[in-house]
A and B are shown apart, each in its own frame.
Chain A
């Protein structure tokens, strides 16, 4: 690897294959010894053109396409899209279906947060916690598989409702798993707040003030760990969150420890919501009739993904295919905070700070930009095509 020296700076490049996250993102950290003095990021290595592809497919097909934007929060993508399309079509989805959607969303949150806990522990070199967290996550995965029929892309949504119902066996299974997970969560909370070697890596690291968090537009647990009260489940309740209100979990310190605590405490919230839903699951139909052609119009749909606010903009031209679908994922909002908080920390802390926002790289396929001599530039579709032809000639 050739040395890249800019003046006296020593640049550590990480990526495009990140050694820690095994995902494509490119980071450049300017270091002075072990201390980071500058940071830059380049994303978009996984541009799949999903938004464009969505315009070529029918609404029903898009549901499954959009579900595949992210493998971890697949359900919320499908749910956000379905809610938006249902709003456009003006149909009311049965209460039971909405409750099941929320149930799956909360189970997915548990799975996502446990996954994150494991990843973050692995970044901290705490592989035992990593293994335990993932072992316990397996419980929720199994339940989701039992309930929906799939482990990762659950595909439980259809436009106008859900496909699968909760029966007694599944309900009991979920309830007993929640009890088990709750005892485990007690342990994890104790661990992240008292284990000295872990606290040595998290307390006071990557501090982000409330103002900074607000200015950078952070969302989700990252924002809540800095004391920002941001949660779409409360601000604009969707699906069944009006009947089963979530309680917000915030921390004031804004460091990595706070992000650990917020996520672990949100697990409790999810357990509570799931128990609530299962005990008072409304009866009724699972689906309602849905038109194939969606009336002309545009709408936005916002949901709280495990990583923060997920935003969908859907424009319909009256046919059975959307005119435009725009997705804004939570990770893209949070990335700026990594770059802002990294400076001044030890190189060893960087993977921890990065994983602290629970980054999802597949969510970051925004646009293609070429870093040329005249700085960044945006490229449009035609230029990109020509560039591709030129590149592979």
Chain B
């Protein structure tokens, strides 16, 4: 098979594209089901995310007045494209990343942020007050968790001495679980992931009781479907990243499943345990404790590295 063919396949079918989307829906289902069970409810049936997606695609996309229509329609596409692209650099499903180069960790993290950025822009684009407030909150939240999340993922990178996700993953596989040595980093990465996905208790940007649906209030039909799918895709990618870095790598599909699902269980429990944080509380939490703690851990790591202590 030619090199081009292989690239296209990995881009569209596996491990990127379709496979990630399918995984996103399955993980979204599992997440919803778990939260439901924690709340003593039945929860959705297995095809619900797919059914939601198809239903939304079939619906009319209402384009509100007084907006930039091109932006309105293309932002969701860019958002999901960003999420899907980032999947190519991550060891999805326990197989080698489709592509890798030195420094792809940084690229991946920024690709993952495109979704949030697009959500924010989408909210700011329309003249709906709920959307604008939602967009402000989305972006505020982005700036609060992004730095700690980044730093938390840099911890393993420094330990492995590389900026290449594949290399870090190999390092994690061949060493004891990094979660034990860098517990703060692990926690911050996991909770940062929840902030990124706007899961409760960090769902202030889309708090339905305050601002309806936040930045996406005016979205319906296709655009909304894509944004939702993008978020599910990020859920899988984020879980894979955390598992690969902190839980001793995802060397094969079975390990991938076990570890990501384990993390999902924790995330679902955390979602059902707390009341929603106000946006100022979220910012305070991240900058006052999250960022400071990971920074401290990072400094310790660098110091240890400098003195040549094996970690």
A/B contact in complex, CB under 8 angstroms: yes
Residue in contact with B276 in the complex, picked from A1, A2, A19, A124, CB distance below 8 Å? A124
B278 x A19 contact (CB < 8 A): no
Residue in contact with B200 in the complex, picked from A34, A123, A127, CB distance below 8 Å? A127
Within 8 A of B (CB), among A336-354: 346-351
B209 x A135 contact (CB < 8 A): no
> Which residues of B sit under 8 angstroms from A347, Cβ to Cβ?
133, 210-211
Minimum C-beta distance from B208 to chain A (A): 6
A127 x B209 contact (CB < 8 A): no
> Which residues of B sit under 8 angstroms from A3, Cβ to Cβ?
127, 129
> Which residues of B sit under 8 angstroms from A132, Cβ to Cβ?
39-40
Q: Chain B interface: which of A83-91, A194-202, A211-219, A380-388? A: A194-202
Cα A131 to Cα B40 with chains together (Å): 8
A128 x B281 contact (CB < 8 A): no
A195 x B209 contact (CB < 8 A): no
Q: Chain A interface: which of B103-111, B158-166, B267-275? A: B267-275
B133 x A128 contact (CB < 8 A): no
Q: A125-B203, A131-B41, A348-B204 are in contact. Are A20 and B277 (CB under 8 A)?
A: no
Q: A348-B207, A351-B209 are in contact. Are A128 and B276 (CB under 8 A)?
A: no
Closest to B273 in A: A128
* Chain B residues within 8 Å of A, Cβ to Cβ: 38-41, 127-130, 133, 200-201, 203-204, 207-212, 272-281
> Which residues of B sit under 8 angstroms from A131, Cβ to Cβ?
39-41
A12 at the interface (CB under 8 A from B): yes
B276 x A126 contact (CB < 8 A): yes
> Which residues of A sit under 8 angstroms from B127, Cβ to Cβ?
1-3
A128 x B207 contact (CB < 8 A): no
Would you give the 0/1 interface string for A343-369, flagging 1 where the beta carbon is closer than 8 Å to chain B?
A: 000111111000000000000000000
Residue in contact with B209 in the complex, picked from A11, A12, A13, A19, CB distance below 8 Å? A19
> Which residues of A sit under 8 angstroms from B281, Cβ to Cβ?
200
Minimum C-beta distance from B42 to chain A (A): 11
Residue in contact with B133 in the complex, picked from A12, A198, A349, CB distance below 8 Å? A12
Minimum C-beta distance from B72 to chain A (A): 15
Residue in contact with A348 in the complex, picked from B39, B128, B210, CB distance below 8 Å? B210
Cα A228 to Cα B278 with chains together (Å): 30
A197 x B275 contact (CB < 8 A): yes
Report, as a range, how many residues of chain A touch the other chain: 20 to 34
B275 x A121 contact (CB < 8 A): yes
A122 at the interface (CB under 8 A from B): yes
> Which residues of A sit under 8 angstroms from B273, Cβ to Cβ?
128
> Which residues of B sit under 8 angstroms from A126, Cβ to Cβ?
274-276
Residue in contact with A12 in the complex, picked from B129, B204, B272, CB distance below 8 Å? B129
Within 8 A of B (CB), among A1-29: 1-3, 10-13, 19-20
Would you give the 0/1 interface string for A367-384, flagging 1 where the beta carbon is closer than 8 Å to chain B?
A: 000000000000000000
B39 x A127 contact (CB < 8 A): yes
Cα A34 to Cα B281 with chains together (Å): 13
> Which residues of A sit under 8 angstroms from B209, Cβ to Cβ?
19-20, 122-123, 125, 351
Within 8 A of B (CB), among A89-128: 121-128
The 5 closest A-B pairs by CB, nearest first: A125-B276, A20-B209, A126-B275, A131-B39, A197-B274
* Chain A residues within 8 Å of B, Cβ to Cβ: 1-3, 10-13, 19-20, 34, 121-129, 131-132, 135, 195, 197-198, 200-201, 346-351
B210 x A350 contact (CB < 8 A): yes
Closest to B140 in A: A34
> Which residues of B sit under 8 angstroms from A12, Cβ to Cβ?
129-130, 133
Minimum C-beta distance from B123 to chain A (A): 13
Q: List 29 A-B contacts (CB under 8 A).
A: A1-B127, A1-B129, A10-B129, A13-B129, A19-B209, A19-B212, A34-B133, A34-B279, A121-B275, A123-B209, A124-B275, A125-B209, A125-B276, A126-B275, A127-B272, A128-B39, A135-B40, A197-B275, A200-B275, A200-B277, A200-B278, A201-B278, A346-B278, A346-B280, A348-B207, A348-B210, A348-B278, A350-B210, A351-B209
B128 x A1 contact (CB < 8 A): yes
Extra contacts besides A125-B276, A197-B277, A348-B210 (10): CB < 8 Å: A3-B127, A10-B129, A121-B275, A125-B207, A128-B273, A131-B40, A197-B275, A201-B276, A348-B207, A348-B278
Q: A126-B275, A346-B278, A348-B279 are in contact. Are A197 and B212 (CB under 8 A)?
A: no
Closest to A1 in B: B128
> Which residues of A sit under 8 angstroms from B38, Cβ to Cβ?
128
> Which residues of A sit under 8 angstroms from B277, Cβ to Cβ?
197, 200
Minimum C-beta distance from B283 to chain A (A): 11
Cα A10 to Cα B130 with chains together (Å): 12
B40 x A349 contact (CB < 8 A): no
Cα A349 to Cα B277 with chains together (Å): 11
Minimum C-beta distance from B124 to chain A (A): 14
Minimum C-beta distance from B8 to chain A (A): 43
Cα A117 to Cα B261 with chains together (Å): 33
Closest to A355 in B: B209
Cα A261 to Cα B280 with chains together (Å): 25
> Which residues of A sit under 8 angstroms from B278, Cβ to Cβ?
200-201, 346, 348-349
Cα A201 to Cα B200 with chains together (Å): 14
Cα A347 to Cα B209 with chains together (Å): 11
Minimum C-beta distance from A8 to chain B (A): 15
Minimum C-beta distance from B220 to chain A (A): 15
Closest to B128 in A: A1
A19 x B129 contact (CB < 8 A): no
